[in-house]
Amino acid sequence: MVLTLKELVARWFNEIWNRRHLEVADELMGEGCVIHNPGLKPEDATTAAAFRSLAQAFQSAIPDIHIEIQDTVAERDQVVVRCLVTGTHTGEGLNVRPSNRPIRLSGMAWGRWRDGKLVEAWNNFDFLSLYEQIGAVERP
């Protein structure tokens, strides 16, 4: 069964992030995939193994992380999702001592897919808000 682009991106967020099945990245990431993230060098996430390492850091900091897809738009080989991220900061994966505070932030991800594989992604999530919520930075 061939999944639509909307189904592929829903699988990405549900399996990898919400169900913690990081091995799904091996299935869904194309070779040489580039993930553009603020503060992330492209070479930091060009393999499924590198991506899994980044995801593990977030999941260890926020073990109950949940990403809800609120809207999805798909056209040609690209999919855009608007998301709500929630959880509780109880671990040290973000190099910040656990605050035990709830987190809630919004974001958007734009992915380009080829033959059922993610080949390039652009992520914009409100990480400043995240770090404010866990007490790592203060708003001036």
pTM score = 0.90
Residue 53 CB contacts under 8 Å (≥ 6 apart), including other chains: none
Residue 71 CB contacts under 8 Å (≥ 6 apart), including other chains: 81, 82
**CA–CA gap between residue 133 and residue 120 (Å, rounded):** 29
Write the class of the CATH domain 5-133: alpha beta
Position 134 scores a pLDDT of 95
Position 9 scores a pLDDT of 96
Position 129 scores a pLDDT of 93
Q: Alpha carbon of 89 to those of 19, 59, 93, 94, 103: distances in Å?
A: 17, 10, 9, 9, 7
Q: Where are the domains of the chain?
A: 5-133
Per-residue pLDDT of the chain (140 residues; tens, 9 = 90+): 778 999 999 999 999 999 999 999 999 999 888 888 776 665 566 678 888 888 899 999 999 999 999 999 999 999 999 999 999 999 998 889 999 999 999 999 999 999 999 999 999 999 999 999 999 988 77
**CA–CA gap between residue 79 and residue 53 (Å, rounded):** 24
Position 36 scores a pLDDT of 83
Position 45 scores a pLDDT of 62
Position 35 scores a pLDDT of 85
**CA–CA gap between residue 34 and residue 111 (Å, rounded):** 10
Position 49 scores a pLDDT of 83
